[in-house]
Chains A and B, each alone.
Chain A
């Protein structure tokens, strides 16, 4: 089973600052990684898929990079609505065995 480890667990930042979130896979997964934003009381929101492709309607301040085992989500110039928990998700090989990372909480400093 592929394990995704996200770091840091919590990121304390101010609006306007940039956030860099990390997701490390226990084995190589190519570029098959997505990032989601999750706020309390709401369903998750797809931000990035295939490591670097922004989903429909996602602002350009969200960007993803990486391949193999190390991936990064960067949020440039944090806005008030960006404070949330962020999860990475890999889609696995065949058969698909999807897994999520443990999450990074981006909180207001």
Chain B
């Protein structure tokens, strides 16, 4: 059974940093691209970042570029999102998700974690 479990969320002050983790199980983690998607309170889904299976390619939404960094450790089956210079508008539930296809990503996501809540407030 595919499982994705996020952790690392919490309350942080504006300008602060936080690192989210997503531990994967039930599939060959090292074969799939992974992504982070967020949902601010009362808003829709917003794509944040994506990383290829071998970490060679990473892409970020303009809204987080230069502040957030996606990475992964395939030996630990873990995906990360390092979030720096956090702003109030980064407050959201952050989901990690798995690509539908091995090796060559399709950039559609078929398994999602339950989400981690990040709140940015003074």
Instruction: Give chain A's interface residues, CB within 8 Å of chain B.
Output: 1, 34, 36, 38, 42-46, 49-50, 55-56, 85, 87, 89, 91-92, 95-103
Contact = CB atoms under 8 A, between A and B. Distances in A.
A32 to B, nearest CB: 8
Contacts of B97: 43-44
B44 A56 contact: no
Dominant secondary structure of chain B at its interface with chain A = strand
Query: What bracket does the count of chain B residues touching chain A fall in?
Result: 20 to 34
Given A43-B114, A44-B112, A91 B45 contact: no
A43 B115 contact: yes
B108 A91 contact: yes
A49 B108 contact: yes
Contacts of A102: 44
A3 B113 CA distance: 26
A38 B95 CA distance: 12
Given A46-B110, A100-B47, A102-B44, 13 more contacts: A38-B45, A42-B114, A43-B113, A44-B112, A46-B100, A46-B108, A46-B109, A56-B110, A89-B45, A92-B107, A97-B59, A100-B37, A101-B44
Interface of B: 35, 37, 44-47, 50, 57, 59, 61-62, 95, 97, 100, 105-110, 112-115
A46 B95 CA distance: 14
20 contacts: A1-B62, A34-B108, A36-B45, A43-B112, A44-B97, A44-B109, A44-B112, A46-B100, A49-B106, A50-B108, A85-B44, A87-B44, A87-B45, A89-B108, A92-B107, A95-B59, A96-B105, A97-B59, A99-B47, A100-B46
A103 B44 contact: yes
A96 B46 CA distance: 14
Nearest to A1: B62
Contacts of B109: 44, 46
